[in-house]
Amino acid sequence: MFNFDGDFRPRRPQQNFGGASQKSDRLTIIRKAQQERQKREDARRQQNGATVIQSSVRSFVQRQAVKGRERDRFDEYRRTCGVRNLQDLEYLTKRIVFFYHGRNGKDGDRLIFLCQYVIKNPKEVFEAAATQPMWTYRIKKLLGLCLQQIFVPEHSPTIPMRMLEIYSSNAYVGKYIPEEPTTGTASSSRTYLEAIFCYLIRQKYFRIVRRLIEEKIPPVDEDTTTIPNPIAEALLQMLLRPLKLLPTANETFNASILQSFSFHILSPDFSAQIKHYIVPALAASTDFPYISLVRFIAEEYQGRLDYQNTILVDIDDEMDGGGVTAESTPVSKKARKNPDQESLQLSSSLLYSVMKLGENQFDKINTEELYSAYVKVLSSMVSNLTKLPRLALVTYQPRQDDSSDSESDSEDVPMLTNCENQTLSEVIAMLNDNQRVSYVVSFIDNILDKPEVVQHLCLICHNLMTYNRLAVYQYKLLYMLASKPQFVRSLWYTLTAQTASQGFSSPISLLSKGLTISKYDSDRIVPILASFCALFGRLIATLHDGEFCQENVLPGTVSKIMPFTIPEIIPLSTTLKEISLGLVELAFPETRSSLKDSYRTMLTSLNNESTSHFRLKCDPNEQSKNVWPHLLKVCVSLLRQIHTRDLRRTFCPDGHWTAQNLNLPLDKPTDLHLSRRRGPRPFQPIRDFTREDVEDGPPLSTKQIRSITILREIPFVVAFNTRVGVFQGLVAADKLRTQGDLQGFLQGPSIQLTVRRSHLYEDAFDKLSPMNEPDLRPKFRIEMVNSAGMREAGIDGGGVFREFLSELLKTAFDPHRGFFMITKDNMLYPNPSVGKIVEDYQRHYYFIGRILGKALYENLLVELPLAEFFLSKLAGKHSDVDIHQLASLDPVLHRNLMSLKAYEGDVADLGLDFTIVCDELGETRVEELKPNGANITVSSSNRLEYIQLMADFKLNKQIRSQCLAFRQGLANVLPIEWLYMFSNKELQVLISGAEIPVDVHDLRQNTRYGGDFTLEHNTIQLFWKVVEEFDDIQRRQLLKFVTSCSRPPLLGFKDLDPPFCIQNAGDTDRLPSASTCMNLLKLPAFEKEDMLREKLLYAIQSGAGFELS
């Protein structure tokens, strides 16, 4: 219980006036004890530190005193006795080795004094060294002092350099010390020199020689082997002396020499003397051990890889809490130690040096083992090319996206010195010189079964391609490798073999599922996959369809130009499709992972315990900005090429290209902003939302970005009907914005137009020009004037407009008007000679493009048989098409060019040159395919160029301005990006409808009835019976009569707007009539089947206009 005493205020604080307590609590005592212990520890450390410092000082003072006394003894002995024999030399050498200091000028005098005697008496010194190892020790000590003395400014370097020249040169040593030990000698000339240079290398021999080169040799501006000055030859020989010992020396000696030589001479940034004189001079020298250098770098690189893998194992073991350890993993000895500060630097300079030094050594790299080492060395350093800024697209790229922006606008480029930039540019040139490429390609057939060599070769190709997006077209190394079908085949089976052995945990399987892979797997798989896609894409681009399908290859034989058969292409394309979809998922990751960690761990650990060592994941978005986007690009490019072949030859089964279970929001096409100016870049961080993006709407979700990417890059993996739905949804959303929601009540913005039937095209061209009507998206209200000059009766509710648009397009595309011609297959394409008919023809093509865009915008099907190559120009991202489309324009010319390509005789005998004869309305003129083409004969070496130029002229050059104006007009009505979702054949279906029979059952299910008509009415029953008995032509005539279009809607009659409707027209003496604006058939209530059939056929075949109603 609580008692209330009347005081409602809070309890007041209690105060104690008794003073501070004299008792210390437990924590205070512990804290004081710790502080006292810390003070005692600090005092001990200070005492020990003082003792060490005092000891060091006393030692230094004592040593200096001893050295001073030894200097006095040296000077005294020198004054009194001098150097008369080896005993005197020995006495003085012992002392100078002890007290010499480079900063002491008098020590330099003493050293030079001794060296003068040693130089004058080499015979007795060498003889002593041959019999007494101690003298070898003294000589190398003296040489070490000479290295220090060279840069003492008070003295000339002549005596020390002469000392080094005599006592480290095989030419001098060989005179006095035999090559092999004898009974009277303790060492040979080889062991003597090895001992000398082992010591000198530890004294930074090569660093000192490099400094001498850069100080004593004047800089040169270009490569030369001519001696710039007298000392240059001596310094070059100083470099070569230890290198000459390598062929006969042991492995340890070789490694130490090459390590120091590479570290100090080849790896650092070049000076003019090193790059332009030393490296060319070494390359020209027959004594340079190039093979030893290649083997050394290859072993060092492999050791470094093993060391990195060991680190991965240790990290993974720590993450897993035990399991495999570094000690249980078989790695090389070099991998078990952390590289020291002079470890090999795989720099741009070293890469250049290796390539320059090997220009004349290819005849020596004549075994598979040496070839493998050489390729490994190049691949180990070729990643330096990524330091270069990506090469700008300043040249023509085949089938380049006309509307795409640069991928590297905002890339962070590392800062390079001018020297390194120039060096890497020269490396690229050397990688593609004829001799090197011929050597690399000559060994290809011998290494196809060696995955490691194939991987290193792919790494070279991959780095070239990530630097230059046109590398596969411009670099000889790449297109020569692409011309090797068996090599391309081996790349694919290198990938698939691993997939077969590792199952669901293989890197390819993980990529296909959109899962990240380990850094170890990424470094191995990505270069091979990217190289395969780029090289195979380059190869098949040069093959015509017959070669691709191996039509002329006998059963049981292997094609010499095509790596895969058609049955192999089908599963290959399936895998590429899955990889491409997985890369899209990786390119735009979810903010939060939708997969549980346990599921990811399970996938990465299945079936292969050995690969569990490398479960350390690499995030593609955190790696190189070029590697993963390039991989996505080449995978998608190859997949599109195979799909395009399938469109022409149809070798894949139905439904092959459609991806199942796509988790994309395609049911809401209004959310897909396909025409955004600044979309997210794949594998790049999300950009900040700027004011420029506000006009395009709110930021896109991850699923929206993925959907847009798929519809832009590989739309064929989405079912055609789904894409049509997306297109129609986008159009419907745009209509709502431009036309408003009152169009059904004939209200809202509209374009009022009166045209004469007899001058339909002329009136429309004038009144719908961009000056009069800049925007054709609002509704049209058409009023037609007949041949009598009278306005036709009725209000345009949509039917008059559809007839107007249909007839206008037929008139515009009529070959007799001159804007279009027909191929031998009666397909339409722009007239190359239209300039002879109409001066301002671009305006007409722009207008016709707008009208076709309006038909697509209004979902009006128009029967226009357009040529396949022309459709490709409209549906593709690329305004130019290649030779594979020539058959749709001129099959005879295409066949002749293919025969020329396969011609085995002398092409020059055919008398062809780089010209083409053009016939324009009876006028003949000769057009040159290239500058001075009339004087260039077509030969076996340039016939491929002739074929490409001929096809480009016929398909692109002579109708480029027409097609450009047409595309611009089309894009004026609807964004051209919306058409990228469709292939050329699909665009034809979108324009004209599918060539499929009219589905009477579907029409019946989606028909409505007016008046007293119902489905059970006798007249309706007779109507459907008669229609079912119609042939397909008569059914199309019925559709044309009621809807003004003879083809059914793309997605079925459920999408016909307004719906197909039948209404009772009353008196049976009348003919059936129609209101096409309402898709309404006015059918009298016929009671007899014969009468209904007769009058219905008469009506639909009469070809009457709208006044029939």
Verify that 925 and 848 share a domain, yes or no. yes
What single letter denotes the amino acid at residue 373? A
DSSP 8-class letter at 721:
H
Q: Are strands 750-756 and 779-785 parallel, antiparallel or unpaired?
A: parallel
What is the arithmetic mean of pLDDT over 732-750? 72
Verify that 725 and 767 share a domain, yes or no. no
* Torsion of Cα atoms, 896 then 827 then 948 then 876, to 10°: -150
Angle at 574 between CA 570 and CA 575, to 5 degrees: 120
| Residue 404 lies inside a defined structural domain of this protein | no
CA distance 190 to 206: 20
**b/e burial code for range 283-305 (CB count within 10 A of at least 16 → b):** bebeebbbbbbbbbbbbbbbbbb
| Residue 30 lies inside a defined structural domain of this protein | no
Beta bridge partners of 864: none
Does residue 667 carry a pLDDT above 90? no
pLDDT tens digit sequence for 415-446? 677 888 888 889 999 999 889 999 989 888 88
| Residue 40 lies inside a defined structural domain of this protein | no
Structure tokens, 890: 């001129």
Report yes or no: 985 and 888 within 8 Å, Cβ to Cβ: no
Q: Catalytic pick from 461, 635, 652, 1077?
A: 1077
What is the arithmetic mean of pLDDT over 263-291? 91
What pLDDT is recorded for position 101?
A: 87
Residue 403 pLDDT level (bands cut at 50, 70, 90): very low
Report yes or no: 1052 and 999 within 8 Å, Cβ to Cβ: yes
Residue 320 pLDDT level (bands cut at 50, 70, 90): very low
CA distance 52 to 147: 33
CA distance 112 to 116: 6
Verify that 684 and 760 share a domain, yes or no. no
Does residue 676 carry a pLDDT above 80? no
Look at the chain and count its residues. Answer: 1109
Verify that 1090 and 970 share a domain, yes or no. no
Does residue 1108 carry a pLDDT above 60? no
CA distance 809 to 862: 8
φ and ψ of 919, to 5 deg: -110, 110
Verify that 761 and 676 share a domain, yes or no. no
The CATH number given to whatever domain includes residue 906 is 3.90.1750.10
Helix ranges, 740-887 (H): 760-767, 799-812, 841-857, 868-875
What pLDDT is recorded for position 330?
A: 42
What single letter denotes the amino acid at residue 779? K
Verify that 760 and 837 share a domain, yes or no. yes
What is the arithmetic mean of pLDDT over 1073-1080? 80
Chain-centre distance for alpha carbon 868: 30
Report yes or no: 1081 and 1074 within 8 Å, Cβ to Cβ: yes
How many domains does one find in the chain? Answer: 6
Residue 386 pLDDT level (bands cut at 50, 70, 90): confident
Which structural domain range is residue 873 located in?
743-787+808-813+822-991
From the list 190, 98, 185, the residue with the least C-alpha distance to 141 is: 98
Report yes or no: 395 and 441 within 8 Å, Cβ to Cβ: no
Using CB atoms within 10 A of its CB, is residue 1051 exposed (0-12), middle (13-18) or buried (19+)? middle
Does residue 184 carry a pLDDT above 60? no
What pLDDT is recorded for position 352?
A: 93
Verify that 1044 and 1068 share a domain, yes or no. yes
| Residue 408 lies inside a defined structural domain of this protein | no
User: Could you confirm whether 458 is annotated as catalytic?
Assistant: no
Q: Are strands 1008-1010 and 750-756 parallel, antiparallel or unpaired?
A: unpaired
| Residue 944 lies inside a defined structural domain of this protein | yes
| Residue 44 lies inside a defined structural domain of this protein | no
Q: What is the mean pLDDT of the chain?
A: 82
CA distance 499 to 501: 5
Maximal CA-CA distance, the chain: 152
What single letter denotes the amino acid at residue 391? L
Verify that 369 and 508 share a domain, yes or no. no
pLDDT tens digit sequence for 879-935? 788 888 898 999 999 889 988 888 888 888 888 999 988 887 778 888 889 899 889
From the list 1066, 998, 1010, 1085, the residue with the least C-alpha distance to 1036 is: 998
Verify that 65 and 169 share a domain, yes or no. yes
Please give the radius of gyration of the chain, using alpha carbons only, rounded to the nearest integer. Answer: 43
Percentage of the residues of the chain whose pLDDT score is greater than 70: 83
Verify that 999 and 986 share a domain, yes or no. no
Verify that 881 and 1010 share a domain, yes or no. no
Angle at 963 between CA 959 and CA 967, to 5 degrees: 175
Q: Please give the sequence-ordered ranges of beta strands (E in DSSP) within 654-769, or none if there are none.
A: 750-756
pLDDT tens digit sequence for 190-244? 888 889 999 999 999 999 999 999 998 998 888 888 888 888 898 999 999 999 9
> CA 55 → CA 41, 61, 63, 67, distances in Å?
21, 10, 12, 18
Structure tokens, 57: 């000082």
- Looking at 991, 1013, 1043, the residue that finishes a domain is 991
CA distance 834 to 845: 10
Report yes or no: 828 and 870 within 8 Å, Cβ to Cβ: yes
| Residue 911 lies inside a defined structural domain of this protein | yes
Percentage of the residues of the chain whose pLDDT score is greater than 90: 27
| Residue 93 lies inside a defined structural domain of this protein | yes
Per mean pLDDT, which range of 544-553, 661-670, 760-769, 1000-1009 is the poorest? 661-670
φ and ψ of 755, to 5 deg: -135, 150
- Residue with the two structure tokens 């209690």: 14
Residues 6+ apart with CB under 8 A from 478: 461, 464, 465, 471, 472, 534, 535, 538
Q: Helices (H), strands (E): how many in the chain?
A: 43, 10
Residue 591 pLDDT level (bands cut at 50, 70, 90): low
Verify that 729 and 836 share a domain, yes or no. no
Does residue 577 carry a pLDDT above 90? yes
